Amino acid sequence: MDRTLGASRANKRRRGRRGTGKVRITDVALLAGVAPITVSRVLNAPDSVAAETLRRVREAIDRTGYVPNMLAGGLASRYTRLVAAVVPTIASPVFQETWEALTDTFADAGYHLTFGQTGYGGAREDELLDAIIARRPDGIVLTGIMRSPLGRRRLIAAGIPVVETWDLTPTPIDMLVGFSHENIGVAVAEYLHSKGRRRIAVITAADDRARRRAKGLTVAAARLGIATALAPELPMFVAAAPGTLGSGRKGLGDLLARHPSIDAVFCSSDMLALGAVIEAEAREIPVPEGVAVVGYGNLNFAADAFPPLTTVSVDGPAIGHLAARCIIDRAQGRSVPEPVVDVGFSLVERASA
């Protein structure tokens, strides 16, 4: 095998390019006694190859340990089978199920999903975008909507299918699967109002979508005549993103110091809500009798907290699945039935509110 491998390389060493020393499609072809394009077909369109040829080529692939070079393949076919997801931090539990569903759906369709982090506040976003486009993915999935005008232009110019997720906008770049954060705030306001709460406060992380949930709540509260019960604006505590148990505790402490009469808190994440619940307990304020607490995310600990957290649930897997379908359909030249989908949300009522 030593003599065979690399033999094809010897006769084209004219102006000395050094190659990688690794197995190429030509080596496999030589060993199987076929043309390189046949090996390519075995890999990419096995149905178009005769059974016996298929067998021989596959054996040659195994014997040589050949791993295709997708750089070369992508260059030749402008089809990379790569999809890039742009995420704030890879470790946000809220998005986890979405990334899982994305990964799985893409994997089943033969695509590889890679993740790039922008950091909180979208610091490196534009650079990351160029780095992604430079690899010519077949699709791009964004967390939230793209606000940077430069980013939008780059994406449109690149001509790559794009799905924005976990948010809603009348002007998506391309496709979108998400829901309205403002409406969540409204729904929470109405819920708390219906439970007789009139002195509502907010603990929110300093993050765009969280702020918009808080804004929806503020607006709806005003409409329901709640805001004026306390002050012109709802009492609010803003914590650094991402929200932590500690900032939830601090938030509730702070709000109680400023407004001892509050009877409900809407937290921008379940972690903040857990912190609020723990702080209330440490102060021997009963939840929900003293303060009602509502979270967001319905994370895996929400149901097991003490008391269990009332929270807003979003169908993360559905977002991932639908977003992947959008990209796959477009990448394969099909038309996308629903390029903009609002998956909505639901309020999960538990003991904390």
Partner DNA sequence: ATGAAAGCGCTAACAG
Partner DNA sequence: CTGTTAGCGCTTTCAT
Q: Which stretches of the chain bind its own copies, using CB under 8 A?
A: 20-22, 65, 67-72, 74-75, 78, 80, 82, 84, 87, 89-93, 95-96, 99-100, 103, 107, 112-117, 119, 124, 127, 130-131, 133-136, 154, 157-159, 244-246, 249, 271, 274-275, 278, 281-282, 300-301, 303-306
Among 5, 31, 40, 61, binds DNA (CB under 7 A): 40
**Partner whose binding site includes residue 34, from DNA, its own copies, none (CB under 5 to 8 Å by kind):** DNA
Residue 17 contacts DNA per CB under 7 A: yes
How far apart are CB 247 and its own copies at their closest, in Å?
Answer: 9
The residue among 105, 162, 152 whose CA lies nearest residue 125 is 152
Say how far apart CA 319 and CA 220 lie, in whole Å.
27
**Partner whose binding site includes residue 44, from its own copies, DNA, none (CB under 5 to 8 Å by kind):** DNA
Q: How many H helices and E strands in the chain?
A: 14, 12
Q: Which two tokens stand for residue 69?
A: 């070079």
Neighbours of 133 (CB within 10 A): 17
In which region does residue 166 sit, left (phi positive, over 0), alpha (psi from -120 to 50) or beta (all else)? left
Say how far apart CA 273 and CA 65 lie, in whole Å.
52
Say how far apart CA 26 and CA 315 lie, in whole Å.
47
**Partner whose binding site includes residue 49, from its own copies, DNA, none (CB under 5 to 8 Å by kind):** DNA
Among 37, 107, 123, 156, binds DNA (CB under 7 A): 37
Give the residue with the Cβ less far from DNA, 68 or 307: 68
Say how far apart CA 13 and CA 15 lie, in whole Å.
6
Give the residue with the Cβ less far from its own copies, 140 or 221: 140
Bridge-based pairing state of the strands 175-178 and 139-143:
unpaired
How far apart are CB 127 and DNA at their closest, in Å?
Answer: 17
Q: Which two tokens stand for residue 56?
A: 């021989």
Give the residue with the Cβ less far from its own copies, 136 or 259: 136
Give the residue with the Cβ less far from its own copies, 37 or 71: 71
Q: Which two tokens stand for residue 291?
A: 């303060």
Give the residue with the Cβ less far from DNA, 3 or 14: 14
Neighbours of 39 (CB within 10 A): 27
> Which residues contribute to the site for DNA (CB under 7 A)?
9, 12-20, 22, 24-26, 33-41, 43-44, 48-50, 52-53, 66, 68-69, 72-73, 75-79
